[in-house]
Structure 1
Amino acid sequence: MSDNHVGVDAPAAVRDCGAMGSDYAAAADLLRAATDVTLLGHVNPDADALGSALALALALKKLGKRTRVSFGSPDTVPEVLRGLDSDGLLVPACDVPAAPATLVVLDCGSDRRLGPLIDRVAATRAAGGRVLVIDHHVGTPRFGTDHILDDTAVATAVLVLALLDELDVPLDPAIATCLYAGVLTDTGFFRRATGATHRIAARLLDAGVDAEELSRRFDEHPFAWLRMLATVLGRAELVPEAAGGRGLVHTTVHLSDMVGVTIDDVEGVVDLVRSSSEAEVAAVAKELEPGVWTVSLRAVGDVDVRAVAVSLGGGGHRRAAGFTAHGTAEDVLASIKRALG
């Protein structure tokens, strides 16, 4: 069984956005030879994970492959992302084959991010199948048999676009919308975009993306979201001495705050908290169940919040990262302050 790190130039259309140094030809050959492909994103999938998986699945379907897309948990797709599944390719985790012949894992910084579907990787390899890992996180290990790994790419969607070019699959509105959603959100709605990012966005728009409608999906929330926001922002605290004097602003979202809203509705709270000019680091701890928290970290300066997240069992990017924690809200916030130094 080979362990091919995919390694040559990306197509010129995406080269400037970081999709370099990978053998897209080898990955394309692997997928052309496949007849049945299972694509997995990480648990609690975001737009980049789900959009990348669905875009590639739609392209493979055009090539006559049988495809399915899934993720480990939760059981439902976030409301804002449901419209991306235009062809009904999403299946529940229980319907994922025990040992897929060809498995593609997207946007997972490690196999642990597959949650309860982590066993599919080992099972596929043990059965002589192939596991293609496509990811843009820093330090992603080579846990597959084949890899497209580029931590300079702004989104996994960019790497998928390069692979579609290699497969010679033309963009259509459905595929382009899935990719655009990933680029849009992983660049912080283009806050961290480069000129190359905008060139890619223009290409996707030209392929039929309705950017206004898609952006509206991410902007809309139920009325209860306003009440939740007032409560959560009202308990925000500023710690000027944290992060070596660069400052930390933090807040918590308790289960009792989420009446009428879902965990997906609170994902953007960290970006509002980050707007504080007195702190370079923002942290929001969201209670998933009693004593279990998912924490979002953001940085606007030179603080590496990925290093903080990794030290606490998570991961991500230099300016956007996260981890899961257990204990009280006070315990969680204390661990963040210690990790920041």
Structure 2
Amino acid sequence: MDFSLKQTSTLLQDSNTIVLTAHVQPDGDCLGSMLALNQYLVSQGKNVKMILDDDIPVLYKFLPGYQAIQKPTSRVISADLLIVLDASDIERIGKVKEHVEAPILNIDHHVSNTKFADYWYIDQRSAATGEIIFQLLTLLNATITPDIATCLYTAIATDCGFFRYANTTVQTMRYAADLMGYGAKPNLISESMESKPLESILTLAKVLETLELHHHGKIATIKVLPDTLSTLDSTEGFINYPRVIEGVEIAMMFKVMSDNTVRISFRSKTVDVSQLALTFGGGGHARAAGCAVTGRIDDVMKEVLHVAVEHLTEVAL
């Protein structure tokens, strides 16, 4: 059922036992949105759990309250409501879908959203799910604490490339200014995220050695293999290097996981890569998307590259 923001706020008020979750391969938007909403709901006396089927990247461990995020277990739990944040498809929440028994509310901003939930509020005009959560908390007359402001500023800023991407709007900048007024410190947030261990920089150099150009230089790929991942917590930002190469329309990072799954990140300058990701059961934004494909790296790369070339050809027609 398609909900308004007002109906969404009423559903939150009427629910007492709530589980919050978000997509695997967590980024600043899904984590910041989840943590901010959790802090508000707890302040209202709600019984809230945050469950995520993935690890929290080190660069986001400055976010207040991240330690309370749990992983799903084999035990099924019941709740009044399962809120899925920043995920366009039920598969994006991993094992949480089998771990929680509850009606699902989906709050999201992706153009590729499949409307999988019982209730959904989707605003494709929002630069980030964090913008929607800020609107929701404002509607609920919530007290925006410095911790909530930090989480929401991080959510918004990271999903628009710290206000560099095309999804940055006038309203996005206003929200950022408002959150600064509530106590968010942009300098501390960016410094926390930019600080990287030496191993990350050395690993980036190895990953860039796998850089290849395809389709007359319009597609760039990099690979992250399991032995590389074993010494690395996060590959955040790696995809930006092939993306900025002159002439590249689509950048792709293939990350080989231990379970024979290849996670793929897509980035572009002008091409809608959300449709490309959707072809493989993923989703995301027009300029940034992702998916996971089971198979050997060589086979997966061949298949995805084939579809990417077709996608570019169709766009050019």
Answer yes or no: is the 8 Å Cα contact 1:69–1:89 preserved in 2.
yes
Residue identity in the other structure for 2:31 = L
How do 1:291-330 residues align onto structure 2 when only pairs under 5 Å count? 291-301=260-270, 303-330=271-298
* 2:187 counterpart of 1:217: no
Structure 1 residue 284: deviation in Å?
0.9
Residue 96 to residue 274, structure 1, CA distance change in 2 (3 Å): farther
Which residue matches 2:176? 201
Residue 25 to residue 280, structure 1, CA distance change in 2 (3 Å): same
Structure 1 residue 136: deviation in Å?
0.8
Answer yes or no: is the 8 Å Cα contact 1:37–1:103 preserved in 2.
yes
Deviates more, 1:180-189 or 1:77-86: 77-86
Identity %: 30
How do 1:76-115 residues align onto structure 2 when only pairs under 5 Å count? 76-86=55-65, 88-94=67-73, 98-115=77-94
Residue 63 to residue 95, structure 1, CA distance change in 2 (3 Å): farther
Which residue matches 2:141? 168
Residue identity in the other structure for 1:211 = P
Answer yes or no: is the 8 Å Cα contact 1:36–1:102 preserved in 2.
yes
CA distance in 2, matches of 1:260, 1:293: 18
Aligned length: 307
Which residue matches 1:140? 113
CA distance in 1, matches of 2:102, 2:65: 28
Residue 95 to residue 116, structure 1, CA distance change in 2 (3 Å): closer
Residue 35 to residue 97, structure 1, CA distance change in 2 (3 Å): farther
Q: So what's the TM-score if we normalise by structure 2? A: 0.90
* 2:149 counterpart of 1:191: no
Deviation per CA, 1:141-183: give whole Å up to 9, x if none.
3333322111221111111111101111021111111111111
CA distance in 1, matches of 2:263, 2:240: 15
Q: Secondary structure at the match of 1:93?
A: coil
* RMSD of aligned alpha carbons: 2.0
Residue 40 to residue 113, structure 1, CA distance change in 2 (3 Å): same
Residue 94 to residue 258, structure 1, CA distance change in 2 (3 Å): closer
- Stretches of structure 1 lacking an aligned partner (at least 5 in a row): 7-22, 126-130
Which residue matches 1:44? 25
Q: So what's the TM-score if we normalise by structure 1? A: 0.84
Which residue matches 1:64? 45
Deviates more, 1:84-93 or 1:305-314: 84-93
